[in-house]
Structures are given as structure tokens and as C-alpha cells.
Chain A
Amino acid sequence: MKRAFKMPGFSIGFIMAFTFTAAALVSFFWTPFGTDGVDIVNKLHTPDGTNWFGTDHLGRDIFSMIMVGARTSIAVAVVAVGIGVLLGVPLGLAAAARKGSLLDEFIMRGNDLVFAFPALLIAILITAVFGPSAINAIIAIGIFNIPVFARLTRAGALSLWTRDFVLAARVSGKSRVRISFEHILPNITNLLIVQGTIQFSLGILAEAALSYIGLGAQPPIPSWGRMLADSQTMVSFAPHLALFPGLAIVLTVLGLNLMGDALRDLFDPKLRRDRQ
């Protein structure tokens, strides 16, 4: 961890991502203004000392809404990554433990199939079928994380199965399942952390896109994507409506990507040498 913070990319990324996570947490106790009250008298204020980011067409404080919106984005992305890890990693471990078996073949072909669908298209289909909501957005995004983690786990695990320490574990009579969880999994955690960071940032983008087209979190839950959709007709005379939620998305995603890249370099010294 200490070494990670010595890399400028990681530190900058961490500050960005941490700021928004902190904003999301603080919003549970405190926001400068409430986000569910309508205050038409104060609508479309430009940013000033009271409303730091201005107010929207209903007079709500944009700064407060971005804080609360961070909850939605982060929660959706975290749970979606969680789904990917919890289902994808065991599948990948199983496929690697029985390489070439029918199970392996089945898992990998299933993965290919999910990859063949344009992710956003199916997310739209799922939310259309089950109704737009934050939960369905999570499921739609989560489904596409499963093959990502399954594939990565399998690739990482396959190279480990040929190593001597795994052979030693097998000779000592451990089952394939135990070896997978006790010896393989700890050794691919780094890979999973890097991929998790990247999928986290993709999840934030996907959530924003789904809310933007009205298939994510529903009103009155604030979300960055829907704030952008609401602002669309007013961009020409109130650009601050579109500016701040957009910047929130960009900075969070950028921060996570910078962290992911830095961690990848850190965990893989060969790459670090090549890329510098």
C-alpha cells in the first residue's frame, strides 16, 4: 500500500475517487441543502457563495444533489462488481481446475456468448423487461462482469496450476477445490483487484448511461446520469446544470482508472519496465 502511494498516478487517482466516496458517505448525515424539496423561487441560480454549484430548474442545490448522486453511482458500481467477483471467480477457478473438461468448455462458451451481446444493448433490454430501477441496472451491469472475472480468473489460475507449490499441495492430498481456494485464489488477488478497479469505473459509466436514458435509478433518487438528462434542454442558457454532474462522472472514472493503471504497474514489474 505504501509503495502504491509513492506512484503519482495512484495518489492523484486515489484523491479523486476518495473525494467522491467521502461525499457519498457524508451525504447520509449532511448536505448543504435538502435534495427532495422544490424551491422554484431559487431556480436556475448560477454558482455563488450559497449554492456552490448553482441550482437546477426546480431550485434544488446541485452540489447537494451531486453528493447524494455519488451514493447511487458508487452503490450500483460496487454491487455490480461484487456480482461479477462472487459468480465469476468461482466459475473461473472451476474451469481452470478441470481444464479441458466439459465444465470448462461450457463455462468458456457461455462467456463467449455474453461477450457477443453488446453490453449496453442487453442492459437496455433487461431494464426494459423488468422495469427501470437501480436494482435492475445493477443486475444488468453485473451480468457483464461475470465473464470478465471468470475469464481473468481462469487465465491466471491456469498458469498457477503448473507451478511446483500446487503440485506439492496435490501430492499432500488436498482436493482441487481446497487448492483452488487456498493456493490459487490468494495468488491471483492482485489481478482481481486491478480488474475490479477497472470494472468499477466502467460500472459508474454504465450506470450514468442507463440513468441518462431513463432506465436507471428513478426519481426522486438523485443520480448523475439523470441530472444530465434533465439539464439537456437547458444547456444553452444554464450550462452549469450539465457541467458539474458531468465533471463528477469524469473525475470519478478518471480517478479509478489512474488507480487501476498504477496498481497494474505495481503488481507487474515487467510491465512497469516496459512502459516507462
Chain B
Amino acid sequence: MLIFTLKRLLSLALSLIAASVAIFFVVEIIPGDPARLMLGINATQDAVDALRTQMGLDQGVMARYWLWISGLVQGDFGISYTYRVPVAEMVQGRVWVSLPLAMYALLLSTLIAFPIGILAAAKRGSWADWLVMGGTQLGVAIPNFWFAMIMVSILAIKYQLFSAGGFPGWDDPLAAMKALTLPAFVLALPQASILARVMRSSLLDTLSEDFMRTARAKGRTARGAMVHHALRNAMIPVLTIIGLQFSFLLAGAIIIEKIFFLPGLGSMIFTAITQRDLIVVESVVMLLVFAVILVTFLVDITYALVDPRLRRRA
């Protein structure tokens, strides 16, 4: 287990380094001089040069990469070109919108997918199974931004059940949760559809295993065998998908935040891109990729704890 963890940690570190290099160089080729952009076209060349020195832009590519990455490790994300405040401060306010939104969506996705996936597998071929398969097929095909528009126009504007957008802050947790409910639901729907289908097919695979027949033969009820034997074994692929979905939810949140006017990391990246605030783009993208890589790592470790066979295979 120790060797497995170390191997995974090494691959985690390598992924992070490669990702940071990729992000840095993609952003590096964005045309335009940030110093010139900040000071405007009327600034003198001297002023621009001075600012370039202050921002470290006059140094070589490698030096700037090193400056950026060593800052990141120490929690220093640089200073926003546009707002002249530390990026870390800007992120702090917004991470508490995006992260809860993604977690909330993940929770909803699981809460929706598990029961209907299990139901469809348990009653395979019944009308319930048909309904679940049809519904999830539709759920995967619906673009979530379109679904969001429909939901807002029906639930928020017509019936005023939810707010159409905005975020009141966490001072009033209930109001905050209410503001996140509709966005989280919209975000969760396609993921829930995928998860329900995976749950169903994984359970069906497990249900045809010999140990299930043995369980029934020794007197377990259908329900008991399902809960104690089948579900546990069917969880591995389901866990994989849940892990993968976290990254979809984080990225999907970018569009959903835009629709619901939520002040999260997604809308922050958007604004930063239009303002050519490169340091913000770099650091926030790196942060999101870090979160995704970390979750993948944790999922891998969780598997190995759950299923000893995987430890040896790696």
C-alpha cells in the first residue's frame, strides 16, 4: 500500500508539473503586452517599461515560470493586472461559491442517480426501467445551459420559487443554499443521468455473478442480497465516474455561474480573459486543474483501500 501510494504521489507531482508548464505556455502566447494594457495607450514607454520591470515581465520565460510556480507553492498567486490586488484574495471570496456549487451538484447527482439506477437494475425490463433509461438518455442530450434557461423562466420568473440569479453570501446560509439550489440541480442533471446508467449496468453485471446465486441459495432475500452483496461490488465503476464528474462539475460551473450571475471562479476566469488579466487566468486554471488531479489521486487511493486487488495491479 505504501509503494502504491508513493507511486501515485509521484505521478500526481509529475501531472502537476506538466499541467503548469502547459498552462503557462498557452497563456504566454496570448498577444498583447499586459503592462501596456494596464496603463492604456496614452502611457509613455518609460512608464510601461517601469511597470514591466515591477511585474517581472522583462525577465526571461524560464525565470518568469519559476517566479510564478514558486509563488503558487507558497500560496502567492501573483497580483491581478487589472485590480492590483493579490489574486489569492480574489480567489478566496469566490472559491466559496464554486466549490459549494460543485459539491452540492455532486450530492444531488448521487442522490438522484443511486435510487433510480438501483431501481432500474432491480426491475430490469419493467416500465420503471424503461422510464429510467429513456429519461437518462434525454438527460444526457439536454444542454445544461438550455435547461437552465427553461428552469429560470418557469421556476424563477413565472412561479417565483427560486431566485433567477445572484448570490446573497454565506451570512444567511439558508438564503445562500436557496440561491445555489437551482444552479446545482441544473448542473447535476446530465451527470445524474450518466451516473444512473453506470449504476444500472454495473449492478446488472454484478447481479449475474455466481456469488449472487450463492447468496440467494443460502437464504438471503432478493433485497438482502442486493444490499449486502451486489451494491458493494457494483460500487467500483460508480466511484470512478463520481471522481471524474467532479472535474466536469467544476468546469461546467463556469457556464452555469454565468447564467445565474454567481460570483464564482468561473465568472472570474471569464472576466479575466476579456480583460487580458493573464496572471488571474493562469492561477485560477492551475487551481482548478490541481483540484481535479487531487480528486483523481484521492479516488485512486480510495479504490486501493476498498479493493486490495487494485494495489497489486498498479
Q: Which residues of A pack against B, CB within 8 Å? A: 109, 112-113, 116-121, 124-126, 128-129, 201, 205, 208-209, 212-213, 225, 228, 231-232, 235-236, 239, 242, 246, 249-251, 253-254, 257-258, 261, 274-276
B239 at the interface (CB under 8 A from A): no
How far does the alpha carbon of A109 sit from the alpha carbon of B22 in the complex, in Å?
14
Given the complex, which residues of A lie within 8 Å of B14, measured CB to CB? Answer: 109
> Which B1-57 residues sit within 8 Å CB-CB of chain A?
11, 14-15, 18-19, 22-23, 26-27, 29-30
Give the Cβ gap from B27 to chain A, nearest Cβ, in Å.
7
B146 at the interface (CB under 8 A from A): yes
Q: How large is the interface on B (under 10, 10 to 19, 20 to 34, 35 or more residues)?
A: 35 or more
Given the complex, which residues of A lie within 8 Å of B269, measured CB to CB? Answer: 121, 124
B74 at the interface (CB under 8 A from A): no
A212 B255 Cβ-Cβ under 8 A: yes
A213 B125 Cβ-Cβ under 8 A: no
Give the Cβ gap from B32 to chain A, nearest Cβ, in Å.
11
Q: Which 10 A-B pairs have the closest CB atoms?
A: A118-B251, A253-B141, A254-B141, A246-B146, A128-B273, A120-B251, A235-B153, A121-B251, A118-B247, A250-B141
B30 A250 Cβ-Cβ under 8 A: no
Q: Interface SS of chain B: helix, strand, loop or mixed?
A: helix
How far does the alpha carbon of A126 sit from the alpha carbon of B150 in the complex, in Å?
29
Given the complex, which residues of B lie within 8 Å of A126, measured CB to CB? Answer: 26
Give the segment of B103-111, B222-230, B286-294 that binds chain A: B286-294
B100 at the interface (CB under 8 A from A): no
Q: Say whether, besides A119-B251, A275-B204, A113 and B141 are in contact (CB < 8 Å).
A: no
B254 at the interface (CB under 8 A from A): yes
How far does the alpha carbon of A112 sit from the alpha carbon of B296 in the complex, in Å?
11
Total contacts A-B at CB 8 Å: 122
B141 A118 Cβ-Cβ under 8 A: no
How far does the alpha carbon of A129 sit from the alpha carbon of B140 in the complex, in Å?
30
Of B11, B15, B27, B288, the contact of A118 (CB 8 Å cutoff) = B288
How far does the alpha carbon of A125 sit from the alpha carbon of B152 in the complex, in Å?
28
Residue of A nearest to B282 (CB): A125
How far does the alpha carbon of A232 sit from the alpha carbon of B205 in the complex, in Å?
44
A208 B254 Cβ-Cβ under 8 A: no
Give the Cβ gap from B94 to chain A, nearest Cβ, in Å.
15
Given the complex, which residues of B lie within 8 Å of A112, measured CB to CB? Answer: 11, 15
B26 A129 Cβ-Cβ under 8 A: yes
B101 at the interface (CB under 8 A from A): no
B273 A124 Cβ-Cβ under 8 A: yes
Give the Cβ gap from A5 to chain B, nearest Cβ, in Å.
19
Given the complex, which residues of B lie within 8 Å of A209, measured CB to CB? Answer: 143, 145, 255
B201 at the interface (CB under 8 A from A): yes
Q: Say whether, besides A113-B19, A113-B22, A235-B149, A274 and B205 are in contact (CB < 8 Å).
A: yes
Given the complex, which residues of B lie within 8 Å of A232, measured CB to CB? Answer: 149, 259
Q: Say whether, besides A113-B18, A118-B247, A257 and B140 are in contact (CB < 8 Å).
A: yes
How far does the alpha carbon of A249 sit from the alpha carbon of B152 in the complex, in Å?
19
Q: Chain B, 258-289, contact with A by CB distance < 8 Å: what is the 0/1 string? A: 11000000000110010000000100010011
How far does the alpha carbon of A34 sit from the alpha carbon of B142 in the complex, in Å?
28
Given the complex, which residues of A lie within 8 Å of B153, measured CB to CB? Answer: 235-236, 239, 242
> Which B125-146 residues sit within 8 Å CB-CB of chain A?
125, 137-138, 140-143, 145-146
Give the Cβ gap from B129 to chain A, nearest Cβ, in Å.
10
Q: Say whether, besides A109-B14, A129-B27, A116 and B292 are in contact (CB < 8 Å).
A: yes
Give the Cβ gap from B296 to chain A, nearest Cβ, in Å.
7
> Which B179-219 residues sit within 8 Å CB-CB of chain A?
201, 204-205, 208
Given the complex, which residues of A lie within 8 Å of B61, measured CB to CB? Answer: none
